[in-house]
Amino acid sequence: MNKHSLFPERGPAFWWTGFTALIAAGTIFILFVSLVIESVPVFKSQGLSFLWGADWFAGEAYGALPMIFGSLMVTGLAVVMVLPFALGSAILTSEFLNGRLRLVVKAAMELLAGVPGIIYGLMGIAVLTVWVRDVFGLIDGNTLFTAGLLLAVMILPTVMTLSEDALRSVPGEFRDTALSLGLTRMEMTLKVVVPQALPGLAGAVFLGLGRAMGETIAVMLVIGGIDRIPQPWFNLFAPGQSIPSKIGREAAEALGFDVQWSALIALGLVLFVMVMTLTSAGNLLLRRAR
Amino acid sequence: MNSRLFKERILLGSLYGFTACGCLVLAVILILVFTKGGLAISTAFLFEEARNFGLEGGILYQIAGTLILMTGAALVCLPVALGSVLFQTEFLHSPKLRKIFRLVIYALNAVPTIIFGLIGYLFFGVFLEAGVSWMTGVLVLAVMILPTLHVSIHEAVESIPKHYREAGLALGLSPGQQMRAVILPQSLHGIVTGTLLGLARAAGETAAIMFTATAFSGVRLPQSWTEPVTTLQTHILVLAQEAANPVALTHAWGAGLVLLTLVFVLIAATLWIRSGLEMEAQR
Amino acid sequence: MPARFSRKVILGLALVLFGTGVFLQIGPGGVTHALAQDSTVIRIAGSTTVLPIVSRAAEQFQTRNSSVRITVNAGGSGVGIHGTGTRRLDVGLASREITSKEKNRYASSRLNTTVIGRDAVACVVSSEIFDSGVRSLSRQQIGDIYLGKITNWKQVGGPDRKIIVIDKEAHRGTRHVFMKYLFGKSNARAPGARLVTGSNNEEQAKIAQSDSAIGMLSIAWINNDVVGIGIREGHQVIKPTLKNVRAGRFPIARNLNLVTAGQPRGVVKQFVNYLLSKEGQVFVEVSGYIPIRSPQLMSQVAGSHSK
């Protein structure tokens, strides 16, 4: 059988599916192209200083640095806080729990991964900001730390299930060999399984980070909303601003017009590049792990 | 040997500790939503219109709005996702093009949701003149959940055993007949789970619709294409900002509970279907 | 596998769709009925200060004119003006005047404002600060707080506690008016700010949740947790009361505006006229602002809300 007899005719099925594929591809194309084209005006008027300007005041100056800083900061905080819990529970689930219990944990995590961002936002504003203020003795609880903590809780289920998958995918022979060499279960896990699964674990973390960095609502309600890099910069308990939160707050005002709109789209472009870097790194690592 | 055992115990204990902490935090979240939200829930709350800026009455039209946006998005997205997957697997022979297609879908999955709102508004709202309306919201969400549906359907189609296709070919089926007789029925689970996950994602989304599809008050059911709706997500957003007012917070938690239940039911349904599938595969 | 499985799946899907359908039908009239109805829509959005008036009035207006439907959205004065300028809105709400920049930007829309009420912007503090003795501040002091020159309440006679300065988003009407009073420039910067909020609701909540905050708020949003302090001018202290605003004594007063592209026409005109009528002015008063003409006695309007 040659190729031609496999698909002898370009019948209605071909045209129909081709049409929908064209719609899908076209939409995605338009999305990416407008993201670039619409951000041109602000680069024209501000030059590259848009990227490292520290001052943002609608109608006067557009500097994205505080937002870029804020996004990196909350995402970094989130990963530091989520790591021990996500990896710990992933290792426990994959190596020490029996099959049934494992399935229950996995199902629960998949459910929890779907909790909408607005629920976390509500919790952040009603409970967490007050809690952070009182526990750390701050004058106010709307800080980068609060946002990072909220994000850590939010991505915990995602990072945990993906890490668990990565650990499970380490072939059984490795475990058998390790055990036959007289290692204990824990030694086997830490010295053999985890190193073997490392690319997969890293991939899981990167994907979680991508989600954290793109989250709007939960962060917007607790971060403080001020477009400023804290003094000193490592002061976690100062308010700040992340890129999605900034866009969320200003989009309605600028909808579709003027340099301000272009500046917001350009912020979106910067965010996309950052998230894309994280997720493609994650996907690459995950695929290599398999 | 003893110290080795001791170390082992300590490590295992810390693993249990971390896991317990993680589970505890997540449990606290659920308990918070269910206890605080439970206080607000009543038939009146579910089936009455919101009054006095959401401080009185219920969330009838908010529920309706969320349902409209999410089902609309899934209905728009499903044929496009299904068609493009079939085109990719059945007609696209060049491995290079297939790879590009897959990469583009992955890239779309990485786009932060707020960007769908920005560009979606520009394209659907301004260019297609739908304005701030439920139609814009549906289209924005449809693009947003495209990767979810696409990946799920694609996996299902790819996993169809080769001899099924060969049997179809041996019978002399045309590509269209092949799709109807073999591929669609065999990948139905992927189509359904993908759609359910897409629905869940659309129901939980706030950032992409808050300035493209919703209004704050005076909204009931849309009576034309270009009217805004009100949704559970944006309702919670507005009420959450009145955090000092206990009534507003109670209503926000109530709306949150309804939203969470909706999302959980959708995800649980996918898990149920998948587990049923695994069980049948084991037979 | 396929037969049993697909039955389960189809059953599940059917249940979801059926549930949605049933729910939508329960709403008064149901979707099918609603979609069949013919009606005009007035799209309104903007200032959260003006929103309560318009939202309440719209509710009443719609019960009388069942063919008209009015959607009201928040966002801020900038959103109202921008939306009207770009014709996305039929009526924009603004708690400030249109800037000359905005006028030029939307020249083709010939923006027109209709004043429906008067309001004042008060300097507000957390109740704990008020109770500890900070009852009034001078313009200089408030200005220095916003500039970051004064950072502790003890510098203005309060407790030894850091000041949490709350700023608003740049396009908000309240901020324009407040900054204009403090610094003579509606777009002045506030380097002393710690938090930036959007709507009146959000700012009110942040101040109430805190015990050492200062902010700017329409007088209608003042309550037990968020207290308006007096403005000190020379030896005299002017409290932010409706009486002082009405008498023209309180220094930070403003108009509450409806913005339209050109003169209001058709149903929009009807609605604007309703707001200006004796009956419509009741909603201005009920919402805590000053009507521009004496409203009808409240008891005579059925279904008016109290705040």
CB contact under 8 A, A253 and C76: yes
Q: What is the pLDDT along chain B (283 residues), one digit of tens a residue?
A: 578 788 888 888 999 999 998 889 889 999 999 999 999 999 999 998 888 888 888 899 999 999 999 999 999 999 999 999 999 888 888 888 888 888 888 888 889 999 999 999 888 888 887 888 899 999 999 999 999 999 999 999 988 988 888 888 888 888 888 888 889 998 998 999 999 999 999 999 999 999 889 888 778 888 888 889 999 999 999 999 888 888 999 999 999 999 999 999 999 999 998 887 776 666 5
Nearest to A117 among B206, B264, B271 (CB): B206
Does any domain span residue A235? yes
Please give the ipTM for the structure prediction: 0.91
Are the Cβ atoms of C195 and A59 closer than 8 angstroms?
no
Whole-number Å distance between alpha carbons of B56 and B37: 15
A137 lies within 8 A of chain C by CB: no
Domain boundaries, chain C: 7-118+256-301, 120-246
Structure token pair of residue B38: 């439970």
For residue B2, the model assigns a pLDDT of 73
Give domain status of residue A275, yes or no: yes
In percent, how much of chain A has pLDDT > 70? Answer: 96
Q: Does C31 touch chain B (CB under 8 A)?
A: yes
State how far the Cα of A216 lies from the Cα of A56, in Å rounded to an integer. 19
For residue A151, the distance in angstroms to the closest alpha carbon of chain C comes to: 20
Q: What is the CATH number of the domain that holds A233?
A: 1.10.3720.10
Which superfamily does CATH assign the domain made up of C7-118+256-301 to? Periplasmic binding protein-like II (3.40.190.10)
CB atoms within 10 A of CB B280: 14
A4 falls within a domain: no
B140 within 8 A of B209, measured Cβ to Cβ: yes
pTM of the model: 0.89
The yes-or-no verdict on residue A58 having pLDDT over 50 is: yes
- The distance from CA A285 to its chain's CA centroid, rounded to whole angstroms, is 16
Radius of gyration of chain C measured on its C-alpha atoms: 23
What is the average pLDDT across C2-22?
Answer: 54
Selected for mutation to probe chain A from B19, B146, B174, B237 (highest A CB count within 10 Å) is: B19
CA distance C132 to chain A (A): 17
d(CA C206, CA A163): 38
Q: Which domain covers residue A243, as residue numbers?
A: 42-289
* Rg value, chain A, Cα: 23
Name every chain B residue with its beta carbon within 8 A of the beta carbon of A283. Answer: 106
Contact of A130 with chain C, judged by CB distance below 8 Å, is answered with yes
- Structure-token match 């190729």, residue found: A3
Which of B70, B221, B238, B249 to mutate to test binding with chain C, by most C CBs within 10 Å of its CB? B221
pLDDT category of residue A185 using cuts at 50, 70 and 90:
confident
Residue C213 makes CB contacts below 8 A (sequence gap 6+) with: A140, C125, C126, C129, C163, C164, C165, C166, C206, C207
Question: Can you give the pLDDT at residue C238?
Answer: 94
- The CATH number of C120-246 is 3.40.190.10
Could you give the CA distance from residue C74 to residue C45 in angstroms, rounded to a whole number?
6
Name residues 197-256 of chain A within 8 A of C (Cβ).
Answer: 224-227, 239, 249-250, 252-256
Q: What is the pLDDT of residues A197-251, one digit of tens each?
A: 998 899 899 989 999 999 999 999 999 989 989 888 888 999 999 999 999 998 8
Instruction: Check residue B194 and give its pLDDT.
Output: 93
DSSP states of C182-228: HHS-TT---TT--EEE-SHHHHHHHHHH-SSEEEEEEGGG--SSEEE
Q: Which of C55, C61, C68, C73 to mutate to test the interface with B (most CBs of B within 10 A)?
A: C73
pLDDT digits (tens, 9 = 90+) for A22-46: 999 998 889 999 999 999 999 988 8
**Residue C21's pLDDT is what?**
55
Q: Which residue has the tokens 């709306």?
A: B255
| pLDDT single digits (tens) A265-276 | 999 999 999 999
Q: Is the peptide bond before A232 cis (omega within 30 degrees of 0)?
A: yes
Q: Where are the alpha helices (DSSP H) in A113-171?
A: 117-123, 129-135, 144-168
Residue B240 C-alpha, separation from nearest chain A C-alpha, in angstroms: 6
- For C139, counting Cβ atoms within 10 Å of its Cβ (0-12 exposed, 13-18 middle, 19+ buried), the class is middle
Average pLDDT over residues C33-57: 79
pLDDT band at C9; cut points 50, 70, 90: low
Q: Are strands C40-46 and C91-94 parallel, antiparallel or unpaired?
A: parallel
Indicate yes or no: CB of B244 within 8 angstroms of CB of C13.
Answer: no
CB neighbours of residue B144 within 10 Å:
26
Phi/psi zone of residue C19: left (φ > 0), alpha (ψ -120 to 50 degrees), beta? Answer: alpha
End-to-end CA distance of chain A: 34
Residue A2 domain-assigned (yes or no): no
* pLDDT of residue C301 exceeding 50: no
Number of domains in chain A: 1
Residues 6+ apart with CB under 8 A from C197: A225, C166, C167, C168, C169, C203, C206, C215
What pLDDT is stored for residue C176 in this prediction? 92
Measured CA to CA in angstroms, residue A179 lies from A168, A186, A196 at distances of: 16, 10, 15
